Structure 1
Amino acid sequence: MTPRPSELQRLSQPSSYAEKNDQKDLLTPVSRNDVHEDEIWTRKPPVAEQSPGPIPNGGLWAWLQVLSGFMLFMNSCTTYVPETSESTISWIGTLASFILSSSATFAGPILDRGHPRLLLVCGTFCVVFGLMMTSLADRFWQLLLAQGICTGIGSGQLFIVSVALLPQWFTTKRSTATGIAATGSSAAAIIYPPMFHYLVDSIGFGWTVRSIAFVALAVCLVSLSVARMRTQPPPRPKIVDFTGFKEPEYALFALVPFFGGIGLFIPFFYITQYCRENVGGISEELSFWMLPILRVGSIFGRTIPAIVADKAGNLNVLAFCTIVSAFLGFGWIAADSIAGIIIWSLFYGCFSGAFVSLQVPTVVSITKDPKTIGGRGGLLSFLSYADVLAGQTTLRALSLTCEGILIGNPIGGVIVERSWGGLQGFCGATLVTSAAFIILTRLKVVGVSLTRKT
């Protein structure tokens, strides 16, 4: 049936005020002040924001981010200066650790805003410049500025990029990718100290540290060439976001690195001194190599548990490895032979490595908004080291000396003056406390079920 002319005229007229305005807008030129010149006589529909698509969970660019993280982890640890007095090294190392965590706290939100390259450039410059200035330093305040502050700032910026980019590229393999990247710091501990040990006598302190700086520069340039963000950042996140502490599971888990960081790394700081004083028949050369042996075990500990965690859950594996590390901390008391200390070092390095590699994947798994990972990872790093500077300042105020310290927790220096057994017990006790908070976090996330993956 053909409509009448009057009906066609009625249907062609606007039926509402909104339709009248729409027709008027289509016929009215747009002001030059509102749009670009090329769009004055055209009205284009709004373009929807392009989605980055599903997380690839592999592929060339995803694994290149793992390579980038590995290289950045290599330069997110401080190089100590053995020829300086132990008290001076204690101050420099403590300050560097605190500055690293503090700068990571502010670097995380900058990364969340979509500026990883800015952090990489600034971090690379600070690390290399700090090492170059260390090679020229001959006074305490110069070492404090170069190693403690400059290198610490750069290390914090590199650290947060190394851990926060990977969750954008991996889901089911997230822990594995983070674990492989985290082995970079173990590789650095195997490369840099022997490099210093064997070069300093032949080419001198200055050129030895400069050589390390050139290696650090080359390693960072690899990361600069391949690191990239996969997703667009949210509109202007907060510089420091404390909203995560309103979530009970994150607030509980934040106490894990706080307590664990106090004791977990004590063997790494004291293993060489312990061997010299307590292991019968050990040579000076083998005592020096005990730290690299400990780090070799850490390589396996940062990868194998991470692979298992992708199947069994991050909190499950992290709790198990931390409990075993606590028992090994107490068992350190019995390692007084060459064979015993070597076996103990490999096992402790293996199980303690999971504490480092599984923290960020765990934060990702319990965080509701993935675009806040950078900021939350930075706060977690800050809590890991906040107790270090506080402990150092308190001990100095009480006029307590910390003999025998390299770069580590100064509280251990006070305990070891009285008893090695006290230091080893302190190591185990802090890990027991940390494991308790891991279990509490798991109970909050999944309840009492033993089969649920976290």
Structure 2
Amino acid sequence: MVGNATSNTLEEHNSPPLRAQENVLTFIPADISKPPDGGYGWVIVGCNFTINCFTWGVISAYGVTLSYYLDNNVFPGASSLDYALIGGLNFGVAMLAASPVNWITRRYGHHIPMFVGILLQSFGFIAASFCHDQIYQLYLSQGVLVGLGVGFLWIPSIAILPQWFEKKRSVANGICSAGSGIGGIVFSFATSAIIRKISLGWALRTTGIVSGGMNLIAAALIRSRNKEIQPYLHPFDLKLFKQLSACLLLAWGFIVMFGYITILYSLPDFSRSIGLSSSQGATVNAVLSLGTAVGRPLIGLLSDRYGRIEVTGYATLTCAITVFGLWLPAQSYGLLLLFALISGAILGVFWMAIGPLCAELVGLKELPSLLALNWAAVAGPTTFAEVIALKLRRPNSGRPYLYAQVFAGISYLVASAIMLALWYDQRRKKNSASLRTW
């Protein structure tokens, strides 16, 4: 009687459930590895939002800098492919850093690589501001150092967010991903204005100093739940290739990046090719980022409600439709702004969806390992997509970017077919599991 009374009293106060065995009350421990879906998790959302803003947001403004490089003989002897490859290195080197970053995180925790990343990114932009005449200097500073900085800072952070959310995982990730859109807006206008009124050098220095300070605050506040979850953190886990779903996700990311980088970096120069001014080109780039800021939280909300694979597949297909339906016929400022706004909301669906999708397919323990494979898979396309796009460009024709536009549209179309295959594979597994249970 005493035991029952005690149990009832404790249950009324929301204590952990009790089990009676031989007149001894035993507490059943709660599952501490289960994401809390809130609490300090919202601070993590703020930290990740800031990191996205001052890493990918900063990099997305490279389209403005690229347009300046293409129109001005800043580095004598440098070609348009040189400048495209430098922008691609921001993504490619960041992705290639995934395996060593995972190893360092497993050994020393997440703060060490993040602080190293802040130092590398800031120094890369500041060093680039003093580069003159020799293009290899820009390769090393604005290309390699900035790319390494982004990789060391961002890669540990993206694996932390899913540890704090389950039911709200996609919407939380969508809010974080919107940071890149806000950063893109701010730095597109700021870079263009500083270049016009002061110089390119001061635009790069300002970017390095401001992004470094903000990232330092975010990295200091971020906390992981690695002790509770104990993720494997394999730098390159080959056994994941045995899973068809993981292979399909890797293939989707590989293909979709060709379309993403082509649109992201080509729009400002495409604007100039149809007779718009450099300030109008910067505005187009900013509107693209505005679409990102608005669209990614919405995609996250829809993903949590209607299915992450389903919404990701629809968004990928819609990207293909907007390229062929809006970008191909765009010869006016108004239509180009409309395309930038709509496509901005969905073209970067990879960055919004990849964390939740990996967690859904393999669980939190394998999450960092599958993410590392995804970063390795997209390193090639992120590095060389804009190089391919500029190689396809026909400067002396009436429509210089026609082939590059088709290339981007086909990339999204093929990627949407791969996501359909992933959806079918997951549906087949669920049906098989249901039959076994029955």
Contact 1:56 1:170 in 2 (8 A): yes
- Cα distance in 1 for partners of 2:183, 2:233 equals 33
Contact 1:300/1:353, CA 8 A, preserved across alignment: no
- 1:255 and 2:251 matched: yes
**Is the CA contact (8 Å cut-off) linking 1:65 and 1:227 kept in structure 2?**
yes
Structure 2 partner of 1:445: 426
1:136-175 mapped onto 2 (5 Å cutoff): 136-138=130-132, 139-175=134-170
CA distance in 2, matches of 1:336, 1:273: 13
Q: Counterpart of 1:285? A: 279
Cross-structure match for 1:226: 221
Structure 1 residues 256, 117: closer, same or farther in 2, change over 3 A? same
Segment drifting more, 166-175 vs 425-434: 425-434
Measured after TM superposition, the shift of residue 246 of structure 1 is 1.3
TM-score when normalising by structure 2: 0.81
Match runs of 1:431-442 below 5 Å: 431-442=412-423
Unpaired runs of 5+ residues, structure 2, are: 1-28, 434-438
Aligned to 1:33: none
Would you say 1:317 and 2:311 are equivalent positions? yes
> Within the alignment, does 1:55 sit opposite 2:29 as a pair?
no
Matches of 1:357 and 1:169, distance apart in 2: 16
Query: Per-residue deviation at 1:114?
Result: 6.6
What's 2:173 paired with? 178
Q: Does 1:421 align with 2:402?
A: yes
Question: Which residue number in structure 2 is paired with residue 384 of structure 1?
Answer: 378
Q: Is residue 210 of structure 2 the alignment partner of residue 215 of structure 1?
A: yes
Q: 1:131 to 1:338 in 2, by over 3 A?
A: closer
Q: Secondary structure at the match of 1:334?
A: coil
1:329 aligns with 2:310: no
Q: Amino acid of the residue matched to residue 360 of structure 2?
A: S
CA distance in 2, matches of 1:270, 1:54: 43
Preserved CA contact (<8 Å) 2:81 2:387: no
**Cα distance between partner residues in 1 of 2:340 and 2:85:** 26
- TM alignment of 1:392-407, pairs within 5 A: none
> Match for 1:308: what amino acid?
L
How much has 1:120 moved relative to structure 2?
1.1
CA gap of 1:87–1:235, structure 2 versus 1, over 3 A, is closer
Q: Secondary structure at the residue paired with 1:346? A: helix
Q: CA deviation at 1:258?
A: 0.4
Rounded Cα–Cα distance in structure 1 between residues aligned with 2:277 and 2:382: 31
Residues 247-284 of structure 1: per-residue CA shift (max 9 Å, x gap): 110011100110010112322222122222236xx444
Q: Is the 8 A contact 1:69 1:161 kept in 2?
A: no
Q: Is the 8 A contact 1:103 1:157 kept in 2?
A: yes
Alpha carbons 1:134, 1:209 under 8 Å: kept: yes
Alignment counterpart, residue 333 of structure 2, candidates 334, 338, 342: 338
Give the CA deviation at 1:105. 3.2
**Counterpart in the other structure of 2:357:** 362
Identity %: 23
Distance 1:236 1:346, change over 3 A: closer
Letter in 2 for 1:254: L
The amino acid across from 1:68 in the alignment is C
Describe the SS at the equivalent of 1:55.
Answer: coil
- After superposition, the Cα gap between the structure-2 partners of 1:250 and 1:387, relative to the gap in structure 1 and judged at 3 Å, is same
Partner residue, 1:17:
none
Q: Offset at 1:107?
A: 1.6
More deviation, 258-267/283-292 = 283-292
Q: 2:268, 2:282 within 8 Å by CA — same for their partners in 1? A: yes
1:68 to 47, 67, 71: 47
Q: Deviations over 1:89-121 (max 9, x none)?
A: 123222332211100233234435571101211
Match of 1:122 among 82, 107, 116: 116
Q: In angstroms, what is the RMSD of aligned CA positions?
A: 2.6
- Poorly superposed stretches of 4+, deviation over 6 Å: none
State the Cα distance separating 1:201 from its structure 2 match: 4.2
The answer as to whether partners of 2:232 and 2:365 remain within 8 angstroms in 1 is no
Shift of 1:67: 1.0
Partner of 1:264: 260
SS of 1:265's equivalent in the other structure is helix
SS of the residue 1:302 aligns to: helix
- The reply to whether residue 239 of structure 1 matches residue 235 of structure 2 is yes
Q: How many residues align?
A: 383
1:411/1:341 CA distance change after superposition, 3 Å: same
Look up the SS of the partner of 2:147 in the other structure: helix
- 8 Å Cα contact 1:122/1:154 also seen in 2: yes
Cα deviations across residues 197-255 of structure 1 (Å, max 9, x unaligned)? 21234443333322211111121122122101123164875332222111110011100
Counterpart residue number, 2:386: 409
**Separation in 2, partners of 1:422, 1:161:** 37
Report the CA distance between 1:437 and its aligned residue: 0.9
- Distance, in Å, in 2 between the alignment partners of 1:53 and 1:237 is 16
Following the alignment from structure 1 to structure 2, what is the Cα–Cα distance between the partners of residues 301 and 356?
Answer: 12
| Cα shift readout 1:114-154 (whole Å, capped 9, x = no counterpart) | 71101211111111111221122222222111122111111
How many Å separate the matches in 2 of 1:237 and 1:283?
Answer: 48
